[in-house]
Amino acid sequence: MPSAIATTTTPPPPAMKVDYQPDRPPQLDERFSGLKRDIIKPEHEAAVIASYERLKIALAAEAERIAAVQRATIPECPWEDVVANGGRIPEKIAEQAKIAGCILFRGLMSEEQSLSWKEELIDYTKRHSAVRGRPLSDPTTWLLYWTRPQVQARSHPRILEAMNATSHLWNITDETLPIDLSSQVASCYQPIFEGRWEDYDPWCMDQRRDAKVDLYRGTGSCSGFRSFQGWLSMSKCGPGEGTLRVLPNIKLVTAYLMLRPFFLNESFDASEPTFPGAIPGKGQFYVTSKYYPHLEQDRTIISIPKVQPGDFIYWHTDLLHEVEDENNGPSDSSVLYVANVPLCPYNIQNMLNHRKAFREAVPPPDYLKDFGGPYEVEAQHDDHGAREENILTVEGKRALGLAEFDENEPGLTEGQRKIREMANEAMRDCDACRKRKICCVREPGHDTCALCRVKSVTCQFKSIPNARKGGSSRSPVSSTPKPRSPTLTASQRQATSESSSTQNKRPPLRDVLPPSRPTKQWISQFVGSSVDQDPFILRHCSFNDLNLYKRDNWACLRLVPDSHLDARPWYYPKESIQDVVQEDPAQLLKTFFEIIHTSFPLLDPAQVDEKSEPSDLLLAVIYEISNPYYLERTRTNDMSVLDWIFQAIPCEMRYPKLETIEASLLFLQRHARYHSGNYNNIPVPTTGIRQFLGMVALTIILSDILTTFYSVRSGEKLKTYGPDLLHIIFEQFQKRLHTFHDQYLSQLQDVQEFLDPTGTIFLAYYTVLLALYKAGLRNLSPSDLQYHIFRQEARKVLSQVISLLQEMTVRRFRAFWWSQMSNINFAMAGGFMMSLLLTSVDDADVEYWTTQIKLYRDLLQSQSVGFHPTKLAAARMRLLCSVNQDVLDANTKMFSEIEAAQTFGSDFWMDFCEIQDDIIL
């Protein structure tokens, strides 16, 4: 990624604690009180109070008007009127749209085309039902992003023209913009906070273009600025039939939403940390009549007029809107969601993220956090629509970063030319990535691509690629001059389908660019690991001419392309794996089950004993991933087994057996083997490798702790140890854990907030610490100073577990969804809290652990709505709390030394066994 495009490297703010109280709006962190005081300055308070009174009068009058004319407040415009007006919305209708904040285009697309797309979507979901959607029981919103109809709709010339027409509703006062990265979103609403809401212009783009709209990176948030949200109707749908509802006044309603948190009791108050309806990290703003009564929503929220297939509704990004809860109509209510995302500095990174998602045929980053999973993605379907031939216009390719913008188009302002130059520079791969022929992508939170960070060089584009031999150099793409428009000339289209999908074999539409089809097309199979737990095995893609594949934390694999001509192509390995492996196979098998198997117990050892006949592919993978750990190996850089696997896996996967799948899953775990430079790979450890090796080392420490303190034999032995010897043993384990932290976790600290899988090893580390502290509290006397030190250390570790749980997002939980060990870790932390509460000897300690347990229970319960690991931990906490309530009520005396030891004396293995009981609960 060229360094000219700035992206934030600061982590998101900490997770918010929300205090719910009856009859009061939720209380946020105290820092929000300071935020209120910063928004409205003391010198503006009197003006704001007076303006609020004027605003209530204006809202009452507007409520009467909306209630009287109802759906007539929503402007409608036949598309042919826009065409007849030179691509502009007629002036009278444009003025109505600026008041209402929305506009309904009639007949933007033909009914035949819309219904054709709909049928194609329905057909696609029938063929690929495993993609899933929401709700899971009967999906109405599908996890589809790159079907042929969606890609065509986003790039269709009529829809692009509609985006351009609505973009003219916005204005820019300074034509040299948009290069001003210090602007914040609050400045958009500054007139409102100064008591001048009448001067507020909801259609001014100046301060919006770089405002960060996903500050907390939460579920449902969008990482791009959308000037309009939009629906293309694919069915007949009227009021009461599952259609859109809006409050059609953008200026008054926005001013009221901004000021109301300061006047909850009808008097100005900037001291309370309350913003009713808004919770940090949540993508929705819930405006209720309880806290926003002056909107009179029962009279002012109205359904849009009845729409036909091909009609298109746009609404302002700030407009108050909702979808009807029920569909009481005779048919479904199907739409394609197509937003208008203007080209501005903040949206350039969003465009590059979508280009990467398009090339890989996977959901864009914003949508990955919304649905849990894992589910099928379109990359797993041979008939997905993420192909350039489905993009119908040059402008559609530009919106995805697949074609350069015309910097010399007549009529451009200085600001438009600047932003196009910035976008073109960002689309070019940096010099280092072009040299290695890999995709240059900046990960969230980084100003440089992964390769440039490793090489410690500036991520930038300087040199111009040499012209190819036998051909002309590539020239910039130009387009036919268009009427001048404000800085909204390039709109990136995001879309989710709320219906279904179809075959990719229908003829292209007329009046569009002819598709450029390759003369021949390989369908290559790729095997790699995005994280050490990722269960996905194969990816199919046709855009990769060099047979290279790159995802976050994936090794770049270069495989022999599979021609699909027969079951065993000529390049399938001819020799047996026993003839290829250079080391002692028996020793490699022993190394595998001693080291790899303990961290990734996929195979039954009986599968590879003398009586069984495992496949060559399974044995080859075992030999390959065991080789780095075999200390007596004679050849350190032998690539023969790896080359054999590269040739065999694509062929075996066409007709896979169970052992083929097992071999592929194991192959994902090859963390310590790097490819030679001939494969164009980055020969450095990735986050997944570091975590895997760390988990191996941590497992060894945990095994020693269990053997020393929790085995049957250790119980009798520990009784013979004196306090001094116990102190020495605990000190040795603490030193080992401290060394482990410095060696493994310190490498992951800087990426913990950006790379979700690191949560797994941090949670495991906390669990091992708790196992050690629990052993200390079990074996040391409460009169021992070290006993109290362990209690204090346990308090710190448990607070880290709570913080980790507070910061969980859907994307972070995807690293935990599969792991039974994560279930145990979360459950153990809760059980240990309960033990510390039961052994508390003063009121402050009892109050502290009571509060912490309540907080932990609430977090587990809230997170368990969508995630299996916390369901088990939440069930266990409910059980413990109910069982121990009588004990807490009756606890009127201090615990004796014997009682304290007994509380921590339950066998450690019970923490693991009780999980099965939790499942029943």
Map tokens 């490297």 to a residue. 9
The predicted structure's pLDDT at residue 857: 79
**What is d(CA 698, CA 737) in angstroms, rounded to the nearest whole number?**
8
Give the mean model confidence (pLDDT) for residues 398-407: 85
Which has the minimum average pLDDT: 34-38, 273-277, 499-503, 662-666?
499-503
Buried/exposed 578-606: b ≥16 CB within 10 Å, e otherwise: eebbebeeeebbebbeebbbebbeebeee
Map tokens 């750990």 to a residue. 629
Give the mean model confidence (pLDDT) for residues 495-516: 39
Q: Which two tokens stand for residue 375?
A: 């589910």
Distance of CA 336 to the CA centre of its chain: 22
The predicted structure's pLDDT at residue 138: 73
588 φψ region: left (φ > 0), alpha (ψ -120 to 50), beta (else) = alpha
Give the mean model confidence (pLDDT) for residues 557-570: 36
Query: Pairing relation of β-strands 312-316 and 102-106?
Result: antiparallel
Query: Pairing relation of β-strands 76-78 and 228-233?
Result: unpaired
The predicted structure's pLDDT at residue 492: 37
The predicted structure's pLDDT at residue 194: 87
Per-chain mean pLDDT for the chain: 71
Q: Is pLDDT larger for residue 455 or for residue 795? A: 795
Q: Provide the strand spans (E) within 330-480.
A: 335-337, 341-342
Beta-carbon contacts of residue 671 (< 8 Å; ≥ 6 apart):
529, 532, 625, 686, 688, 689, 692, 693
Give the mean model confidence (pLDDT) for residues 634-641: 74
| Burial classification of residue 4, based on how many CB atoms lie within 10 Å of its CB (0-12 exposed, 13-18 middle, 19 or more buried) | middle
**What is d(CA 446, CA 113) in angstroms, rounded to the nearest whole number?**
42
The predicted structure's pLDDT at residue 336: 87
DSSP state of 783: T
The predicted structure's pLDDT at residue 761: 77
| Burial classification of residue 542, based on how many CB atoms lie within 10 Å of its CB (0-12 exposed, 13-18 middle, 19 or more buried) | middle
Give the mean model confidence (pLDDT) for residues 183-195: 70
Distance of CA 656 to the CA centre of its chain: 31
Q: Which two tokens stand for residue 630?
A: 């075999």
The predicted structure's pLDDT at residue 498: 40
Give the mean model confidence (pLDDT) for residues 363-369: 70
Which has the minimum average pLDDT: 460-474, 532-546, 888-902?
532-546
Sheet holding 244-246, edge to edge: 302-303, 244-246, 321-323
Asked if 197 and 191 count as a contact pair (C-beta separation under 8 A), the reply is yes
Give the mean model confidence (pLDDT) for residues 342-356: 82
Q: How confident is the model at residue 307 (pLDDT cuts 50, 70, 90)?
A: very high
Which has the minimum average pLDDT: 534-543, 777-786, 867-876?
534-543
The predicted structure's pLDDT at residue 167: 87
Map tokens 């347990």 to a residue. 853
| Burial classification of residue 364, based on how many CB atoms lie within 10 Å of its CB (0-12 exposed, 13-18 middle, 19 or more buried) | buried
Query: Pairing relation of β-strands 76-78 and 102-106?
Result: parallel
**What is d(CA 340, CA 246) in angstroms, rounded to the nearest whole number?**
18
pTM of the model: 0.51
Residue 664 confidence (pLDDT) above 70:
yes
Give the mean model confidence (pLDDT) for residues 466-490: 37
Q: Is pLDDT larger for residue 481 or for residue 870? A: 870
Which has the minimum average pLDDT: 184-193, 231-240, 493-502, 864-873?
493-502
Amino acid at 436: R
**What is d(CA 828, CA 910) in angstroms, rounded to the nearest whole number?**
10
The predicted structure's pLDDT at residue 436: 62
Q: Which two tokens stand for residue 592?
A: 């595998």
Asked whether the bond before 135 is cis by omega within 30 degrees of 0, the reply is yes
The predicted structure's pLDDT at residue 78: 93
- Rounded to 5 degrees, what are φ and ψ at 167? -65, -25
The neighbour count for residue 881, using CB atoms within 10 Å, is 16
SS3 label, residue 317: coil
Q: How confident is the model at residue 615 (pLDDT cuts 50, 70, 90)?
A: confident
The residue among 272, 332, 284, 320 whose CA lies nearest residue 142 is 332
Q: How confident is the model at residue 501 (pLDDT cuts 50, 70, 90)?
A: very low
Q: Provide the strand spans (E) within 36-107.
A: 76-78, 102-106
CA distances from 460 to 422, 429, 432, 457, 463 (A): 12, 8, 8, 9, 9
Residues facing 48 on adjacent strands: none
Q: How confident is the model at residue 20 (pLDDT cuts 50, 70, 90)?
A: very low
Asked if 554 and 568 count as a contact pair (C-beta separation under 8 A), the reply is no
Residue 490 confidence (pLDDT) above 80:
no
Rg (CA), the chain: 31
Percent of the chain scoring above 90 in pLDDT: 11
Asked if 62 and 44 count as a contact pair (C-beta separation under 8 A), the reply is no
- Rounded to 5 degrees, what are φ and ψ at 207? -95, 0
Q: Is pLDDT larger for residue 227 or for residue 559? A: 227
Q: Of the segments 126-135, 209-218, 296-305, 910-919, which one has the largest average pLDDT value?
A: 296-305
SS3 label, residue 260: helix
Q: Is pLDDT larger for residue 498 or for residue 760? A: 760
Q: Is pLDDT larger for residue 756 or for residue 796? A: 796
The residue among 772, 765, 707 whose CA lies nearest residue 740 is 765
The predicted structure's pLDDT at residue 688: 57
**What is the per-residue DSSP string for 533-556?**
T----EEEESS-TT-----TT---
The predicted structure's pLDDT at residue 102: 93
Asked if 612 and 622 count as a contact pair (C-beta separation under 8 A), the reply is no
Q: How confident is the model at residue 394 (pLDDT cuts 50, 70, 90)?
A: confident
